[in-house]
Amino acid sequence: MTRIQDILAARMDRVKNGDKGFTLIELLVVVIIIGILAAIAIPVYIGVQNNAKDSAVKSDLGNAKTAVVAKYTQDGNYPTALTGLEGQGYTQSDASNYKSATAGDLPAITVVASNGGFCITAVSASGTRFAVSDKKAIATGTCNAGVMS
């Protein structure tokens, strides 16, 4: 039994007197691993964030189309602006989902008297331009003379 006690005592002395902490190489390896993980994760996060903003803009366009059709059903003509459509259920999401708060990027409607239709466009914060019309579903594109292209 004394031999086992001697071995354990010797081992405990080595642990007590041994160096503690990490070497510089070990710390550098950890920093490099963290850097690699960040280099992978940050672009993925940005991509997910842009997809979420695109989805919010598409949702706004879908809601705007529904509100415009409801307003047309109620009044017999299309509104010339999207303001004032809260009564038809349209509320715009946060402005941070759009490229900028200028008129060219926020949802805007173009009414076409010649074909009796409308087209609504908006630019997402990711820079993608989306459009929806009375005849077409939401897609990337723009409105030329009120016609989605």
Question: What are the CA-CA distances from residue 79 to residues 72, 108, 115, 124, 139 (Å)?
Answer: 7, 11, 15, 23, 22
pLDDT of residue 120: 87
pLDDT of residue 31: 96
Q: What is the pTM of this model?
A: 0.69
Residues of the chain with pLDDT under 70: 1, 14-15, 17-20, 101-105, 110-115, 145-149
| Domain limits, the chain | 22-148
For residue 123, count other CB atoms closer than 10 A to its CB: 20
